[in-house]
Amino acid sequence: MLFGYARISTSSQNLDLQVDTLLKAGVDKKNIYKDISSVVKAHRKNLDVMLDKLQKDDIVVVWKMD
C-alpha cells in the first residue's frame, strides 16, 4: 500500500503543493499524513501515526527529503 507524508515548517512552504504531488503519485487521500511544525518543535504526531500503520512491503512517498 502507498502512504504519503507531507510537512511544512515555515509559512513560505506550501502544504497543498506537497499533497497534490502525493495524489498524482498515486497515494490515496486517506493515506496522506500531514504535519505543520517548526524546526524547534521536532515532534511530528502524524508521522508517528503513519509509521505505526505501516506493514511489510508498504511504500512511503514524500515530496522532498530535507
Domains contained in the chain, number: 1
pLDDT of amino acid 33 = 98
pLDDT of amino acid 34 = 96
DSSP state string for 2-62 = EEEEEEE-STTS-HHHHHHHHHHTT--GGGEEEEE--SS----HHHHHHHHH--TT-EEEE
Contact 16, 44 (CB under 8 A): no
Residue 8, domain extent: 2-62
Which phi-psi region, left, alpha or beta, contains residue 10 (left: φ > 0; alpha: ψ -120 to 50)? beta
11 catalytic? Reply is no
Catalytic option among 9, 11, 37, 38: 9
Give the pLDDT of the chain (66 residues) as one tens digit per residue: 999 999 988 878 899 999 999 999 999 999 999 998 766 666 788 999 999 999 999 999 998 887
- Report the CATH number at residue 21: 3.40.50.1390
pLDDT of amino acid 43 = 76
pLDDT in tens, 34-48: 998 766 666 788 999
pLDDT of amino acid 38 = 67
